[in-house]
Amino acid sequence: MKDDSPGLFGPLPSSRVVPVLVPMPAPVAYSYAVPDGMPVEPGSVVQVPLGPRQVIGVVWDGPEAGSVDPKKLRSITKVFDCPPLDGPMRTFLDWVAAYTLSPPGYVARMALRAPAALDPEPMVEGFRFSGMEPERMTPARRKVLDLAGDGLSWTKSGLAHASGVSTSVIDGLAAQGVFETVFLPPPPLVARPDPDFAEHRLAGPQKEAADEILDGIRKGGFSVALIDGVTGSGKTEVYFEAIAETLRQGRQVLILLPEIALTANFLERFQDRFGAKPGEWHSDLATRTREKVWRQAATGEIRVVAGARSALFLPFEDLGLIIVDEEHDPAFKQEDRVFYNARDMAVVRARIAGFPVVLVSATPSVESQVNCQAGRYKRIHLPTRFADAALPDLHLIDMRRHPPERGGFLSPLLLRAVGRTIERKEQALLFLNRRGYAPLTLCRVCGHRFQCPQCSSWLVEHRFRGQIQCHQCGYSEPTPQACPECGTLDHLVACGPGVERIAEEVEKHFPDARTLVLSSDLGGVKRLRLELEAIANGEADIVIGTQLVAKGHNFPLMTLVGIVDADIGLANGDPRAAERTFQLLSQVTGRAGRTGRKSHGLLQTFQPMHPVMQALVSGDASAFYEREIAERERAALPPFGRLVSIIVSADSRAEAETHARQLRQTAPVERDIAILGPAEAPLALIRGRHRFRLLVHGRRSSDMQGFVRAMLANGPKERRSIQVQVDVDPQSFL
DNA sequence: AGCACGCCGACT
DNA sequence: GTCGGCGTGCTC
């Protein structure tokens, strides 16, 4: 009988005791006894009893946390047969936990997110030529022995396939003892990428950029480079050279991408260059595959992983380079449980382990711009588009001077441009970052506005589905005919445009054109892929799309991009609003114009003099960035502001004080600490004077956080004051 | 986080 | 009379 309870059958007093991080919000590692003879070292992945269940934990550093009641001590159940997390990895996880003020157990869990991968994959049965000739030789048997006669091991299906015979031939030979059974390590998930498979011949600025980066890689050690250049300037080719060089050094590479950019297209490009696909890591990976990727990254079989932000926590055997593509993308932020920005934490991981990082973006974040100016990051600028790709000419349409006709949202100028484009049998893209038909519905009789009963944001009409939906919480109901307030029938009026409404307007003006709406709420990934393919094949004339057209996909036949409302998002109170708008619109307009034909972008705006609009049409963003940097500095926002932590206690102020004291002692980064009681915290936040990561301490902290958030969301005028992330550049604290 | 224990309201 | 809500406490 197994008994791990303390006491009579508990661990002997002489047993070794080690700290173990368990997946629980405890502030420290727990202590466990090591059964005699169990091979356990810091970093070992183990299974331990925790309360009524068995959980996965990691043996951590340092002496045992002395003050545990020995009666409570329980024993490690088993050690998994996988490589222990190495020292730099443990330092990294500790650092992230301390910086983000997250329980270390949670951070460690992010590195162990592949439960069944912890034991080795089962061996695969294989066959090896035993040296004995079969009694009777047949043509099929001959073919098999021609291949396998050199004594190498084959899997049954592999050998059958390679020699063009059926597996029964192999079975027959095996039965006679011609083959002996051997057990082979499971085949690697992906082939080894070859750094010299199809080397691009780089020239000009690309060559210079690549040389500069290779220089850093050859020197070794930590460094950060930022490659910046417009869409199509060849950034990918440049960082592929960095990857090749790292592979030649025999080290592993991680490419971080926003999830949505992890497309088949990207993987193919990688394969074209390196002759094999990289390992993939993202949220909707099949469990089995996920486990394999985890393990093979840990054992070093996989040399390159391309992954979304969580791939940063994979336990590579010998990581030598991280690429962060689309470095500015907000998708690198995780905003639940452990709050982190994978771009910044990648820099930290590289610093700790001593290898280079390459950040890549056509529209770098303000933080990275500042780091370049400060000399912390090396800026590598790629000035031109190469080959036949030409950026579209961008022009503004001043909506005050060229208003749309009544009830419409497209100005005559834009409509005319669309008309000319489809006459030439080219494609036009209309971009509006708003799903549905109309963002607000109201009753013309009593003025009632349709609001979400759960979170009070406006309900968005989706005419295709006959529903009104809340984009905040997902609530939906069938579109009503009558006003629920005054009961009047057919006097509900849609206010403002969504993509569906733009499609309606387009169809009215161009009834013969083939229009297509691309929106994340219309069908799944599969449908989207088919639609993108159809567009690439010229099966649509006018595409109307939301944000999802901005990323990952190119539209080779597109020669006109119309931005329906370039001002959306400029005035939402987010200090990053202008930066985001600039980045988004740059990206959308960059989707077009790869045909070699002349292409255009038209941006409808009410604020033609706005710095974002000026930066877009002039093609020179430097003035815009200078202004953003100055604004951030003035407002003490990231990357200049000090790190502020607000401690809200769900219990008592005394408890919050204790947390603050601990924080001052243990946090790796100096920060200002404000202590607020449960009553005052929401008020302080609502006044909107601070923008900081909201930290709520105390037992029921998750409830408390929900409460504070709800207060913020419901404060009718002040919802803009919510901001739940610290983006202070960790580099400056290292 | 999970999970158990424990105490009060509406149901077979 | 019980089932089940979530408030509180505990896990080496």
DSSP assignment of A472-484 equals TT--EEEPPSB-T
Distance CA A84, CA A118 (A): 10
Nearest nucleotide, C1' to the C-alpha of A22? C12
Residues 6-45 of chain A within 7 A of strand B, judged by CB, are 23-25
Tell me how far apart the alpha carbons of residues A200 and A221 are, in angstroms, rounded to a whole number.
Answer: 26
Which residues of chain A are modeled with pLDDT < 70?
1-14, 63-67, 115-119, 385-390, 454-456, 473, 522-523, 552, 573, 593-596, 642, 644-656, 674-734
Instruction: Decide: CB of A53 under 7 A of nucleic strand B.
Output: yes
Protein CB footprint (7 Å) on chain B nucleotides: 1-4
Which pLDDT belongs to residue A695? Answer: 54
Nucleotide nearest to A64 (CA to C1'): C12
d(CA A724, C1' C4) / Å: 36
**Among all strands, which nt has the closest C1' to A29 (CA)?**
C12
CA A71 – C1' C8 distance (Å)?
24
Q: Residues at the strand C interface (CB under 7 A)?
A: A 24, 26, 30-33, 48-51, 65, 68, 72-74, 699-700
C1' (B1) to CA (A109) span, angstroms: 12
A680-699 CB burial, b ≥16 within 10 A, e <16: ebbeebbebebbbbbbbbbe
Predicted confidence at residue A720, as pLDDT, reads: 28
Question: Rounded to an integer, what distance in angstroms lies between the CA atom of residue A548 and that of residue A553?
Answer: 9
Strand-pair partners of A658: none
pTM above 0.85, yes or no: yes
- Between CA A733 and C1' C3 the distance (Å) reads 56
Nucleotide with smallest C1' distance to residue A50 CA: C11
E strand or H helix that includes residue A154 = strand A153-155
Residue A638 Cα distances to A9, A295, A366, A607, A732, angstroms: 56, 37, 9, 26, 12
* A49 C-beta less than 7 Å away from strand B: no
Q: What pLDDT score does A1 carry? A: 34
Binding residues of A for Zn(2+): 443, 446, 452, 455, 470, 473, 483, 486
Annotated binding residues of A:
443, 446, 452, 455, 470, 473, 483, 486
> Strand B within 7 Å of which CB atoms in A 685-704?
701-702
How far, in Å, is the CA of A51 from the C1' of nucleotide C10?
8
Q: Which pLDDT value is given to residue A103? A: 85
